[in-house]
Amino acid sequence: MDNVYILNNLRKGSLKVTITPAQHKTLTHLPKRPPVDLAFTDLTYKVQEGRKSNVKTILKSVSGRLRSGELTAIMGPSGAGKSTLLNILTGYKTSGLEGSVTVNGMERNLSGFRKLSCYIMQDNQLHGNLTVEEAMAVATALKLPSATTTADREEVIHEILETLGLSEHHKTMTSNLSGGQKKRLSIALELVNNPPIMFFDEPTSGLDSSSCFQCISLLKTLARGGRTIICTIHQPSARLFEMFDHLYTLADGQCVYQGSTGRLVEWLGSLSLQCPSYHNPASFIIEVSCGEYGDNTGKLVRAIDNGKNDIRNGQPFPDSKVPDYNNKKAMEESLNKEWNKNDLAQVQEKFRDGNNTNTNGNGNLQNGILQYAASEIAKGDPLVVQMDTEKQDNVEVALLGEGASPRRYATSELTQFWVVLKRTLLFSRRDWTLMYLRLFAHILVGFLIGALYYDIGDDGSKVLSNLGFLFFNMLFLMYTSMTITILSFPLEMPVLIKEHFNRWYSLRSYYLAITVSDIPFQAIFCVIYVVIVYLLTSQPPVWFRFAMFLSSCLLISFVAQSVGLVVGAAMNVQNGVFLAPVMSVPFLLFSGFFVSFNAIPVYLRWITYLSYIRYGFEGTALATYSFERPKLKCHQTYCHFKNPETTLEELDMLHADFTLDIAALCLIFLVLRISAFLFLRWKLKATR
Ligand SMILES: Nc1ncnc2c1ncn2[C@@H]1O[C@H](COP(=O)(O)OP(=O)(O)OP(=O)(O)O)[C@@H](O)[C@H]1O
């Protein structure tokens, strides 16, 4: 089929074809993307430290250019500003910035740019409770347009997993993958929509030397497919260093080298900085940047014009000036010059995907990748398909210009909601703590309370104990639903930050999905608990009273869960587990159980209106003693609370309105859910 297509187009003259080796595998099902060159000019980044007047300049007017089809390393001593530069280039950091960032010579439109790029952060940020295949299915469901057929999605998953050497592990839980496999899965997930620019923050951190080599080989292969691959890296070995096409080195927020990795030693030599024989050039440039050979930073920054010069293969040093990116004509001339003169193969590869692997017939795909990368690095061929220039331009305009699709995400918010909901339900089912421990706790505590307060509900002499039981219900339901959310939700944050930044879904659909996902489980646990305690403690066996009792308990657990969401969204686990219970104390004190409403000083009574525990407690008390309940049994000579009205009078609840309690709980629930969303939105912005 592909051959027919290629031959037809060859006859039409729009395609240029060469024969490709039969064993090469190509990611045929990925959407075609344009090549993207990224440039930045006079980039300065400042942060305010401590007092407002104390401004720290982290990047000092640096410039540079990162080309498609190249694997670029951003290197430099610790604290030089590598991560900061990467965060700016990805669009992760946007404030405190001066200078310009251009994409193919046009000022970067951040919204459009983020559709073309992905940022793979250092710590992988994967959900451990999914298999590789499931994680890929979620990525394709969210990142490919809804119109994509199931067969096409499966083909994309199959191709990517095979190319990245993960197909053998498709049923493995993500948490059980090795470090290198996790890294490859992170790449696989983002590769689904074939972004032409991929950023990696220290992709080799935590990997052994063999995995490092595999990882960089993979990045090299991705770059050979026409993508712009940019990664920060700490001092790579000489073997790894050679695999990078382009090096961008920072020292103290300034550029000390930009250009081909192969010409680094020669360039430093021309500046009287001789790299000792058998010395790793990557280590040497870091040592020079750190000042181990004297203070050369100023000299290097001037020589490279703080990133405006670019040391390219086959070009004399002084002529390798980077053009003015704000000048479109100069930019076009430069592109034509370089494309014609330098690396035609790279340009011709821009519109094909070159993720070819040699499967060796044994399915040894990792070796296939390595062999392919090695042969590609050595040969720089083969050419497969070259689109005509007019088409290239159209694609670029469509993707990068103002006329780009206004849709931020590949799928509708409803689809995002549905996919995230299904994923969260799957996690919940597999999470032992979240599910089984919680279920066990509700059943165990239910029976314990049932045994402790056994058969007291209809006993006029044990009304005070029964009120204690009602209050304990509130306490138990509040803490169980609140703490589980405080403990689990912040752990989701890093994945949320990554996936939301990489445009998998909107915060709104994510939030709605996680909000809805836990409600059924919480409801089931609450019902199980209430049924056990209600029956064992012999509360009135009347359906409407049970329904009122249950609805108060359900609402309390939903409200407490919302408190957990607010706390979980606003702070980390350590602060949350301390602060949430402490903050709940006033609500417990003003619940009406310890002090009746009339006994509370007037200036403190407003707290009772905020206390959701009070509404829940009042709801269960009314369900138990109100609505003309007949007198209780009395097995003693005198039972003060034999008449339920006396109990309500004692609690100042004689004129309380059950509907009002339910309405107040619903209102508090809504306010808390909205607040949690706002906190989450703020947190996502604040982390940048
Ligand atoms: N928000 C901030 N406030 C104050 N200083 C900051 C802030 N962000 C970064 N810095 C400082 O800017 C400098 C560069 O930080 P950056 O994380 O970019 O360095 P790096 O080169 O990635 O270092 P490493 O290799 O150790 O990760 C460091 O000195 C860091 O302390």
- 539-554 burial, b for 16+ CB within 10 Å, e for fewer? bbeeeebbebbbbbbb
3-state SS class at 680: helix
CA–centroid distance, 296 to ligand 1, in Å, is 22
Sketch the domain layout of the chain as residue ranges.
Answer: 2-400, 416-686
Q: CA neighbours within 13 Å on the CB side: how many for 619? A: 28
For the cut 70, the answer to whether the pLDDT of residue 366 exceeds it is no
Tell me the pLDDT tens digit for each residue of 390-432.
334 333 333 443 334 557 788 899 999 999 999 999 888 888 7
Tell me what pLDDT residue 36 has. 83
Residue type, 392: Q
Q: Is 664 left (phi over 0), alpha (psi -120 to 50) or beta?
A: alpha
Tell me what pLDDT residue 667 has. 96
Tell me the pLDDT tens digit for each residue of 534-566.
999 999 999 999 999 999 999 999 999 999 999
Tell me the pLDDT tens digit for each residue of 619-659.
999 999 988 888 888 888 888 888 888 988 888 888 889 99
Q: Which of 82, 94, 201, 248 to mutate to test the pocket of ligand 1 (most atoms within 8 A of CB)?
A: 82
| Alpha carbon separation from 520 to 37, 530, 556, 676, 677 (Å, rounded) | 49, 15, 14, 19, 20
pLDDT tier, 332 (very low <50, low <70, confident <90, very high otherwise): low
Q: Which residue's CA is the closest to the ligand 1 atom numbered 30?
A: 79
Q: What angle do CA 56, 57, 62 make, to 5 degrees?
A: 170
Q: Which residue's CA is the closest to the ligand 1 atom numbered 25?
A: 78
Whether this model's pTM surpasses 0.80: no
CB 187 within 8 A of CB 218: yes
Q: Which residue's CA is the closest to the ligand 1 atom numbered 10?
A: 58
Q: Mean pLDDT throughout 561-580?
A: 89
Which helix (H) or strand (E) segment is 258 a member of? strand 254-260
CB 249 within 8 A of CB 285: yes
Could you tell me if the CB of 354 is within 6 A of ligand 1?
no
3-state SS class at 25: coil
Range with lowest mean pLDDT among 387-391, 590-594, 619-623: 387-391
CB 313 within 8 A of CB 67: no
Share of the chain above pLDDT 90, in %: 33
CA–centroid distance, 58 to ligand 1, in Å, is 7
**Mean pLDDT over the full length of the chain:** 80
CA–centroid distance, 79 to ligand 1, in Å, is 5
For the cut 50, the answer to whether the pLDDT of residue 118 exceeds it is yes
| Alpha carbon separation from 646 to 95, 629, 649, 650 (Å, rounded) | 64, 12, 5, 6
Q: Which atom of ligand 1 is nearest to the CA of 81?
A: 18
Tell me what pLDDT residue 627 has. 86
Tell me what pLDDT residue 683 has. 87
Collect contacts of 640-645 with beta carbons under 8 A, ≥24 apart.
640/463, 641/460, 641/461, 641/463, 641/464, 642/460
Could you tell me if the CB of 491 is within 6 A of ligand 1?
no
Q: How many Å is the Cα radius of gyration of the chain?
A: 32
Which of 29-33, 98-102, 311-315 is predicted most confidently? Answer: 98-102
Q: Which of 57, 84, 123 to mutate to test the pocket of ligand 1 (most atoms within 8 A of CB)?
A: 84
Could you tell me if the CB of 195 is within 6 A of ligand 1?
no
CA–centroid distance, 573 to ligand 1, in Å, is 25
Phi, psi of 685 (to 5 degrees): -75, -40
CB 352 within 8 A of CB 196: no
Q: What is the rounded distance in angstroms from the CA atom of residue 543 to the CA atom of residue 114?
A: 56
Tell me what pLDDT residue 559 has. 95
Burial class of residue 95, CB neighbours in 10 A (0-12, 13-18, 19+) = exposed
Tell me what pLDDT residue 330 has. 52
Tell me the pLDDT tens digit for each residue of 477-526.
999 999 888 888 888 888 898 899 888 999 999 999 998 888 888 999 99
Sheet (strand 38-48) strand order? 55-66, 38-48, 97-103, 106-107
Q: What is the rounded distance in angstroms from the CA atom of residue 159 to the CA atom of residue 182?
A: 17
Beta partners for residue 117, in sequence order: 197
Could you tell me if the CB of 76 is within 6 A of ligand 1?
yes
- 61-72 burial, b for 16+ CB within 10 Å, e for fewer? bbbbbbbbbbbb
- HEC string for 177-207: CCHHHHHHHHHHHHHCCCCCEEEEECCCCCC
pLDDT tier, 573 (very low <50, low <70, confident <90, very high otherwise): confident
Could you tell me if the CB of 83 is within 6 A of ligand 1?
yes
What DSSP state is assigned to residue 629? P
Tell me what pLDDT residue 394 has. 36
Share of the chain above pLDDT 70, in %: 82
Could you tell me if the CB of 53 is within 6 A of ligand 1?
no
CB 476 within 8 A of CB 444: no
Nearest CA to 401 among 100, 31, 116? 116
Residue type, 167: S
Tell me what pLDDT residue 52 has. 66
CB 634 within 8 A of CB 462: no
Could you tell me if the CB of 56 is within 6 A of ligand 1?
yes
CA–centroid distance, 82 to ligand 1, in Å, is 8
Q: Which atom of ligand 1 is nearest to the CA of 87?
A: 18
Could you tell me if the CB of 659 is within 6 A of ligand 1?
no
CA–centroid distance, 104 to ligand 1, in Å, is 28
Tell me the pLDDT tens digit for each residue of 194-251.
888 999 988 888 778 888 888 888 888 888 888 899 999 987 888 899 999 999 999 9
Tell me what pLDDT residue 167 has. 86
Burial class of residue 115, CB neighbours in 10 A (0-12, 13-18, 19+) = buried
CATH superfamily of 2-400: P-loop containing nucleotide triphosphate hydrolases (3.40.50.300)
CB 104 within 8 A of CB 395: no
Tell me what pLDDT residue 403 has. 38
CA terminus-to-terminus distance, the chain: 47
Could you tell me if the CB of 80 is within 6 A of ligand 1?
yes
Q: Which of 48, 83, 201 to mutate to test the pocket of ligand 1 (most atoms within 8 A of CB)?
A: 83
Tell me what pLDDT residue 411 has. 87
Q: Is the dihedral of CA 334, 337, 343, 347 positive or negative?
A: positive
Q: What is the rounded distance in angstroms from the CA atom of residue 595 to the CA atom of residue 504?
A: 51
CB atoms under 10 Å from CB of 42, counted, come to: 15
pLDDT tier, 342 (very low <50, low <70, confident <90, very high otherwise): very low
Query: Is the pLDDT higher at 332 or at 240?
Result: 240
Q: What is the rounded distance in angstroms from the CA atom of residue 465 to the CA atom of residue 449?
A: 12
Tell me what pLDDT residue 134 has. 93
Q: Which atom of ligand 1 is nearest to the CA of 76?
A: 21
CB 376 within 8 A of CB 224: yes
Burial class of residue 607, CB neighbours in 10 A (0-12, 13-18, 19+) = middle
Q: What is the rounded distance in angstroms from the CA atom of residue 648 to the CA atom of residue 132?
A: 58
Tell me what pLDDT residue 126 has. 86
Could you tell me if the CB of 77 is within 6 A of ligand 1?
no
Could you tell me if the CB of 49 is within 6 A of ligand 1?
yes
Q: What is the rounded distance in angstroms from the CA atom of residue 118 to the CA atom of residue 104?
A: 17
CA–centroid distance, 66 to ligand 1, in Å, is 22
Name the pairing type of β-strands 254-260 and 97-103.
unpaired
pLDDT tier, 17 (very low <50, low <70, confident <90, very high otherwise): very low
Could you tell me if the CB of 79 is within 6 A of ligand 1?
yes
Tell me the pLDDT tens digit for each residue of 453-475.
998 888 888 899 999 999 999 99
CA–centroid distance, 252 to ligand 1, in Å, is 10
Tell me what pLDDT residue 21 has. 35
Tell me what pLDDT residue 222 has. 83
Which helix (H) or strand (E) segment is 219 a member of? helix 209-224
CB 109 within 8 A of CB 404: yes
Could you tell me if the CB of 687 is within 6 A of ligand 1?
no
